[in-house]
Amino acid sequence: MKSESGISYDNAAVASCPKHLLQFAVDQRYDDYTSVDHAVWRFIMRQNIFFLKEYAHKVYFQGLLNTGISFERIPRIQEMNDILAKIGWGAVAVDGFIPPAAFMEFQAYKVLVIACDMRQIHHIEYTPAPDIVHEAAGHAPIIVDREYSEYLQRFGEVGAKAMSSKKDFELYQAIRHLSILKERPDADPKEVDEATKLVEHRQKSLGEPSEMALLSRLHWWTVEYGLIGTLENPKIYGAGLLSSIGESVSCLEPAVKKIPYSIDAQTYAFDITTKQPQLFVCTDFQHLRRVLEEFASTMAFKVGGLEGINKAIECQNVATCEYSSGLQVSGIFTEVITDENNSPIYLRTTGKTALAFGDRELEGHGVDYHNDGFGSPVGKWKQTSASPELLTNDQLHALGIVEGRKAKVEFVSGVMVSGKVENILRRDGKLLLISFSSCTAKYGDRVLFNPDWGMYDMAVGERISSVFNGAADKDAYNQVALIPKERTIKVPSYAKRKRLENLYAQVRKIRESKAGYERLGEIWETQQAEHPEDWLLSMEIFEILDQTDQQRELKTKIEKFLNEKKGKTKDLSTLISWGFRLVEYHKRPEYQAVLHDSPN
């Protein structure tokens, strides 16, 4: 089944995602990939087979086979979904970086977000922007390991609840903008420099890092750039390394410091635009889970209380405070009143607020009703030693709290609420709300609620047990996630570029059909005349000639051209050397066995 936007919901994990997440999903537009894109994919994947067979975690290569990822062409998201469904996961295509909270929540639903752009040839080693190599060939293969996939899902659950600030979002926007510029083939160096400075400025002015900022670091040093095993001989499992044929080689060199993974990794900031100076090594995937739970135990969604409420106020974003009764108050928190023991006794939001229970909005208590904010006490009542949420109807009646009658509730804190009881609301046997008309709420001389303000809905709960990011029921809250206005860059296919793409397509057809070898010389001469800056097409032709042992004179010419190219820059020298190395490796029996096992 497909949506109007072309997104397939055949996959159960994808279909279970709420609307506020699925608004990030886009159509992969598979036919927009060019023959150059497929050639770049092929070069990277074949290099990965060569190098990562030895240096990646043992599950990686098997995962490539299990997820049906082709070494010869860019995978279709739908094909991946069909395979991922067998292990309870799914995938959606997205446009570049999406906000961290949305990324984490997708992960909690066991859905990989796959940036469907394909890196350009000038970023073949590493791209600062997420692309389909990073997501499909980096993340997907490792999740076939049960312990790792459980860690990934749990990270999503924890990350989705992490408190984040407006400054976090501004930094995300700056990083996204920079990554888009760096992937643009004709980027203005001055514009890139300004964007880089903006990222650096926002990183420096973040202040005390939020929960999301700290969790993003743990995510980076494990899911993206993690090593596993021993410090002396670690293996690669992080998707950022697995998808970077440059850094997957350099990361294991002694110049890159290896540190035993622990919660201290949260203190190491990272730069997405360059290679990492240090990496963290975990002993096994259970090690990752232990550190994650250690961090989670300090978060507002676990500790609640004044610490959690203050985090909600500081973030200046929509957050949820959950009472011990289970009542969830979602809005922008602006004030907490505390008693002499520094315990929270009264909360207040400003602007649209919603009440929920079990992450489902309570009927009649959405943002249209609570559109001017919400305020309510927290804590025990003076009239009884029991937790107020546990009081039965008989106990309430004994305290004079009966629907249709005037009543007074005095809190241990000194907060006083009096008015006519209009409604008593319970869920799962717990008392959540008492609604009063003609109500006054006071704390000492301070008036907290005036009868002229309308109905007063008093929350019930001895304490705030949890505080977390976003609304409890995001879809009902109508919390439209901030979808980036700036879109990733599609390389324009002008006439000259289309001619180059056509040459690549011809070479692919010759390689796959094993016919038409006599045309390779003409194709190469055309490339030399019209696209002298290109090297990958020459490497593909050289590979075919070497395999078929044909046109030795042409092969010698191409080899000379490529060796001359090697002298131009260090990057080209590395890439072309790898290409030659792969041609030699291709002749080995073990490589042929790998190709035999791989999907087409």
pLDDT digit string, tens, across residues 575-593: 899 899 888 876 666 555 5
Average of per-residue pLDDT across 451-457: 95
Regarding whether 234 and 118 lie in a shared domain, the answer is yes
Q: For residue 4, what pLDDT band results from cuts at 50, 70 and 90?
A: very low
Instruction: Decide: helix, strand or coil at residue 436.
Output: strand
**Where is average pLDDT lowest: 8-12, 111-115, 347-351, 424-428?**
8-12
174 domain-assigned: no
Whether pLDDT at 7 is above 60: no
179 domain-assigned: no
Regarding whether 307 and 267 lie in a shared domain, the answer is no
Whether pLDDT at 279 is above 90: yes
Regarding whether 146 and 24 lie in a shared domain, the answer is yes
Whether pLDDT at 1 is above 50: no
Q: The domain that contains 215 carries what CATH number?
A: 1.10.800.10
Regarding whether 508 and 437 lie in a shared domain, the answer is no
Instruction: Decide: helix, strand or coil at residue 81.
Output: helix
Regarding whether 500 and 472 lie in a shared domain, the answer is no
Regarding whether 471 and 432 lie in a shared domain, the answer is yes
Regarding whether 376 and 336 lie in a shared domain, the answer is yes
168 domain-assigned: no
The pLDDT value recorded for residue 589 is 60
Which range among 111-115, 313-317, 559-563 has the greatest average pLDDT?
559-563
pLDDT digit string, tens, across residues 528-543: 999 999 999 999 999 9
Do 62 and 130 touch, CB atoms closer than 8 A? Answer: no
Burial (CB count within 10 angstroms: exposed 0-12, middle 13-18, buried 19+), residue 307: middle
Regarding whether 538 and 441 lie in a shared domain, the answer is no
The pLDDT value recorded for residue 6 is 46
DSSP characters for 311-364? HHHHH-S-EEEEETTSEEEEEEEEEEEE-TTS-EEEEEEEEEEEEEETTEEPTT
Whether pLDDT at 389 is above 90: yes
120 domain-assigned: yes
Kindly state the helix (H) or strand (E) to which residue 365 belongs, with its residue range. none
Question: What is the rounded CA–CA span in Å between residue 220 and residue 43?
Answer: 26
Decide the pairing of beta strands 319-323 and 464-469: antiparallel
Whether pLDDT at 126 is above 70: no
Question: What is the rounded CA–CA span in Å between residue 133 and residue 139?
Answer: 9
pLDDT digit string, tens, across residues 44-96: 888 887 778 888 998 988 888 787 788 899 989 888 888 889 899 999 998 87
- Written as one letter, the residue type at 553 is E
Question: What is the rounded CA–CA span in Å between residue 412 and residue 399?
Answer: 15
Question: What is the rounded CA–CA span in Å between residue 117 and residue 489?
Answer: 9
Instruction: Decide: helix, strand or coil at residue 228.
Output: strand
Which range among 109-123, 155-169, 218-232 has the greatest average pLDDT?
218-232
Q: Which of 6, 115, 102 is nearest to 483 (CA)?
A: 102
CB count, 10 Å around CB of 156?
20
The pLDDT value recorded for residue 35 is 95
Question: What percent of the chain is modeled with pLDDT above 70?
Answer: 92
Q: Which of 221, 167, 223, 222 is nearest to 199 (CA)?
A: 167
Regarding whether 245 and 313 lie in a shared domain, the answer is no
Q: Give me the sign of the Cα torsion angle 81, 86, 88, 89.
A: negative
188 domain-assigned: no
- Written as one letter, the residue type at 106 is F
Average of per-residue pLDDT across 453-474: 96
Domain limit, last residue, from 418, 445, 477: 477
Q: For residue 488, what pLDDT band results from cuts at 50, 70 and 90?
A: low
Question: What is the rounded CA–CA span in Å between residue 253 and residue 243?
Answer: 17
Question: What is the rounded CA–CA span in Å between residue 446 and residue 293?
Answer: 42
The pLDDT value recorded for residue 487 is 55
Q: Which of 124, 74, 116 is nearest to 95 (CA)?
A: 116
Question: What is the rounded CA–CA span in Å between residue 245 and residue 40?
Answer: 12
Average of per-residue pLDDT across 408-429: 96
Do 373 and 353 touch, CB atoms closer than 8 A? Answer: yes
Reading the block at residue 439, the tokens are 């109500």
Question: What is the rounded CA–CA span in Å between residue 150 and residue 129?
Answer: 26
205 domain-assigned: no
Question: What is the rounded CA–CA span in Å between residue 407 and residue 405?
Answer: 6
Question: What is the rounded CA–CA span in Å between residue 150 and residue 143?
Answer: 8
- Domain hosting residue 310, numbered range: 300-477
The pLDDT value recorded for residue 403 is 96
Domain limit, last residue, from 444, 477, 510: 477
274 domain-assigned: yes
Do 328 and 355 touch, CB atoms closer than 8 A? Answer: yes
HSE-up of residue 281 (Cα within 13 Å, Cβ side)? 18
Reading the block at residue 395, the tokens are 């106990």
**Where is average pLDDT lowest: 15-24, 238-247, 352-361?**
238-247
CA distances from 204 to 171, 390, 496, 585 (A): 10, 48, 43, 46
Q: Give me the sign of the Cα torsion angle 7, 8, 9, 13.
A: negative
Q: The domain that contains 311 carries what CATH number?
A: 2.30.30.100
The residues that bridge with 332 in the sheet, in sequence order, are: 350
Regarding whether 519 and 433 lie in a shared domain, the answer is no
Regarding whether 115 and 40 lie in a shared domain, the answer is yes
Burial (CB count within 10 angstroms: exposed 0-12, middle 13-18, buried 19+), residue 65: middle
Decide the pairing of beta strands 278-282 and 227-229: parallel
The pLDDT value recorded for residue 450 is 95
Q: What is the tally of structural domains in the chain? A: 3
516 domain-assigned: yes
Question: What is the rounded CA–CA span in Å between residue 62 and residue 141?
Answer: 7
CA distances from 168 to 18, 97, 292 (A): 23, 14, 21
The pLDDT value recorded for residue 5 is 45
The pLDDT value recorded for residue 205 is 75
Regarding whether 247 and 309 lie in a shared domain, the answer is no
Which range among 111-115, 120-124, 415-419, 573-577 has the greatest average pLDDT?
415-419
The pLDDT value recorded for residue 273 is 67
Domain limit, last residue, from 248, 279, 310: 279
CA distances from 477 to 166, 332, 371 (A): 19, 12, 11
